[in-house]
Structure formats: structure tokens, C-alpha cells
Amino acid sequence: MLTIGIDGLRRDAFVAAKTPHLDSLVADGTLCLETRVTSDDVTDSDTVSGPGWTTFLTGVWADRHGVLDNSFKGRDAKAAPHGFALAKQVKPSIRTASFLCWTPLRTHVTTDADIDVVVTPGKNASASTVWKAADQSLAWSAVPVLRNDDLDWAFIYFGSTDETGHSYGFHPSVPPYVAAIENVDRMVGELLEAVQQRETYAEEDWLVLVSTDHGGEGTGHGGGRENPNVFTAPMIVSGAAAMKGQPIQRAEGAAPPATVDLVTVALTHLQVPINPEWKLAGSVDGWLQPASTTAEAISEQ
Ligand SMILES: [Zn+2]
């Protein structure tokens, strides 16, 4: 299983960008362009990377993980461990890998990565240039691992989209921002090719999850709880076990599709029973096919 995080991915810019590799994932799964990165019930967290990624990686909102902004003050790692840690609590043999270049995530959130790659962006060039280089380093680090390693769950983070948005604007009419999305798509293609080159690929059941921490407006995204260009974003769940193409419909009163669903979807696919004490806020509804139809197809991947 591969989880891909693309920082600051605004939904209409994703639609406008030419992204053949992400499109290939959509063709084999479900895309929701209205995925929430915030909860209406938990209102004290800002629409910035700290709370956004902590929710993405822990499967709970800020009322439990404690991160309200990029200071990470209040981070409660005991109440809200990384998804890798939850998986290993139940199945210690699960093999995990993390590739990221926004180092606060490594400091405050990531634990239990068997392969743990952190690239620190350089300083002697423009922000979008050094973050692009960092992202490419991560992709090249991940390729041999995805191709060869005994691996159950990998997470890779791309930051150049957000940095380019801050420099030039988060909008489909901004060529450098759209180009940054297309450049990430090219690297996604490298990752998917590596997965498909696995010797054991035919016997495995890969699920690929893609989303973001927030969208953007102008050259920022903070204070975006009322702005759907910021608080809704694309999310893709792709692979044999994923629902195919249907718009996500949930029961009246159920929580809308959200990035908080990612950990629940991932653990479900790894056949890790969800412990109610974890108080995960996510749901697999609309993302994964009902268990009865996929039980046979699901292997340890
Ligand atoms: Zn961000």
C-alpha cells in the first residue's frame, strides 16, 4: 500500500493540470474533489500543514491529536499515534516506509517507519526550486524501496506544490503552480512504475491513496475554514479493493468524506481490526468496496 501526500493541492488546479499518472489512479478507483480537510465539529485548528498532515497521518482531528497550527504545541502522540504505530500494535510484522521533506512531520508525528527517509530542502535557491529538488530526491529514494522491498505500507510526501503556491499563487490560472502539480504527477508515475515492476506484483493487492493537507487561495491557505478552495481538496483511493468511479454517498447525518478517512481506509486494507479505543474519526464508506466482495482479493498488501 502506498499513501501519497501532495502539500497544498487545490482541487480546481488539480483538475486543470495534466496529470496522466494521477488520472490512471482515478480510472482504477474513486476520486472525491470535495474531500474535507477540516471538521465542522473541531473548529480550533487552522488550515495549515501542521494540523492537516497530523490528521492525514493519525486518522483523528485536532481534538484528539492536539495540533492546531505549525508550532505543533499540544501534540498528543499518546492519544493519536501515527497510523504506522496503530498497524504495528496489532501486526508487529507490518513493514513500513516514510519519505518526507517537511521535517516537523518527522519530529512530531512519524513513528514506527522501518525505512525512514528525511530530505532537508536546501537554501541557496528559490523556495520552489529547492523543494522541487527535495521532492525528486524523495521519489528517487522511494523507487528502489517500492520496487524491491518487503513492504506493507509506504508514505511519501511532496512539498513543492505548496511552496510554489506560496510564491506564485494557488490557482489554475497560475502556470508555475500548475507546472508544479504536473511535476509531482511525473514523480507519481515513477513510483507507480516501481510498484508495477515488483517481482511479486501479480500476487499482491496494492492500494494507492492520494490526498493533501489543504488547498489555497491567493498565495496562502491559513484561516481558510470558510473557503471551499482551502477546506476541500482532491482525494483518490485506487486499486482492486477500491470503489470504482461512483460519487461517494453516505447516510444522512454521516460525516462527509475527509482526509481523516485515510488511516481507517489504510488499516482496513491491511486487515488490521480497528480498535474502538483508538477513537479514529474516519470511515471507509465510499472508498473501499464492501468487505464481503473483496475478502478473497485482499492479501497482506
Ligand atoms: Zn501544507
**Alpha carbon of 131 to ligand 1 centroid (Å):** 13
Domain ranges of the chain: 2-294
User: Model-level pTM?
Assistant: 0.96
Ion ligand 1 neighbours (CB, 5 A) are 7-8, 49, 162, 213
**Alpha carbon of 119 to ligand 1 centroid (Å):** 17
Say if CB 243 and CB 286 are below 8 A apart: yes
In sequence order, the β-bridge partners of residue 227 are none
Instruction: Name the helix (H) or strand (E) containing 210.
Output: strand 207-211
Tell me the CB-side half-sphere exposure of residue 174, using CA atoms within 13 A: 22
**Alpha carbon of 214 to ligand 1 centroid (Å):** 6
**Alpha carbon of 301 to ligand 1 centroid (Å):** 28
Q: Which CATH architecture is the domain 2-294 placed in?
A: 3-Layer(aba) Sandwich (3.40)
Tell how strand 207-211 and strand 2-6 pair up.
Answer: parallel
pLDDT by residue for the chain (301 residues), tens only, comes to 999 999 999 999 999 999 999 999 999 999 999 999 999 999 999 999 999 999 999 999 999 999 999 999 999 999 999 999 999 999 999 999 999 999 999 999 999 999 999 999 999 889 999 999 999 999 999 999 999 999 999 999 999 999 999 999 999 999 999 999 999 999 999 999 999 999 999 999 999 999 999 999 999 999 999 999 999 999 999 999 999 988 898 999 999 999 999 999 999 999 999 999 999 999 999 999 987 554 444 444 5
**Alpha carbon of 89 to ligand 1 centroid (Å):** 29
Say if CB 127 and CB 163 are below 8 A apart: yes
**Alpha carbon of 190 to ligand 1 centroid (Å):** 23
C-alpha distances in Å from residue 292, one per residue of 226, 254, 261, 289, 296: 39, 22, 20, 8, 8
Report how far residue 147's alpha carbon sits from residue 74's, in angstroms, rounded to the nearest whole number.
38
Q: Please report the pLDDT score of residue 246 as a whole number.
A: 80
Give the full edge-to-edge strand order of the sheet including 232-239.
29-36, 232-239, 207-211, 2-6, 153-158, 96-100, 115-118
- Residue 109, C-alpha cell as written in the block: 508525528
> Which spans in the chain are helix H?
11-16, 20-27, 49-58, 62-65, 83-90, 103-108, 127-148, 160-168, 175-196, 228-231, 261-269, 291-294
**Alpha carbon of 51 to ligand 1 centroid (Å):** 9
165-208 pLDDT per residue, tens = 999 999 999 999 999 999 999 999 999 999 999 999 999 999 99
